[in-house]
């Protein structure tokens, strides 16, 4: 099963979901993440995922067009902007959407910003666990 997680910049939310889905799949599914733009891997996302035992430090920020030849079974958009601006992806994939808050836009002290990253991470983890239990 091929699963694509799509976000605006493929730097935070889609990377976190990619990490959780990959951990939950335990090698039984191929997980991809991409953006409609590429913003680079956010190091705060890497840090909060490591706090929960998931290493995404080797992930790269990829553009959705890089996966034009992949037939996806599931496409998950994790922000409204990606859902509204995603190029057409042919195929029979089941499509899911959840607009997670963007921690990259958090403001305040470093600890307040990191708390936003943790909060979004926890929402994504719960969503991914439910998705894998029900769909994959």
17-70 tens-digit pLDDT: 999 999 999 999 999 999 999 999 999 999 999 999 999 999 999 999 999 899
Q: What residues make up the domain containing 85?
A: 2-135
CATH of the domain at 125: 3.40.50.2300
**Catalytic residue (one of 7, 48, 49, 124):** 7
Examine the residue annotation and report whether 12 is marked as an active-site residue of this protein.
no
Examine the residue annotation and report whether 7 is marked as an active-site residue of this protein.
yes
Examine the residue annotation and report whether 86 is marked as an active-site residue of this protein.
yes
What is residue 33's three-state secondary structure? strand
Q: Assess whether pLDDT exceeds 80 at residue 134.
A: yes
Give the number of domains in the chain: 1
Residue in 133, 134, 116, 131 with CA at minimum distance from that of residue 18: 131
Look up the pTM and report it: 0.94
**Catalytic residue (one of 4, 16, 48, 79):** 79
**Catalytic residue (one of 21, 86, 128, 131):** 86
Q: How far apart are CA 29 and CA 106, in angstroms?
A: 32
């Amino acid at each position: 099963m091929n699963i694509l997680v799509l976000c605006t910049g493929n730097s935070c939310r889609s990377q976190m979901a990619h990490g959780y889905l990959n951990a939950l799949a335990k090698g039984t599914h191929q997980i991809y993440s991409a953006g409609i733009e590429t913003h680079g891997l956010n190091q705060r996302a890497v840090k909060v995922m490591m706090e929960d035992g998931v290493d995404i430090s080797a992930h790269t920020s990829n553009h959705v067009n890089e996966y034009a030849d992949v037939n996806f079974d599931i496409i998950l958009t994790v922000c409204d902007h990606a859902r509204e601006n995603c190029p057409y992806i042919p195929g029979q994939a089941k499509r899911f959407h959840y607009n997670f808050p963007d921690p990259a836009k958090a403001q305040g002290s470093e600890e307040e910003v990191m708390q936003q990253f943790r909060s979004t991470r926890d929402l994504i983890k719960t969503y991914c666990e439910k998705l894998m239990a029900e769909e994959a």
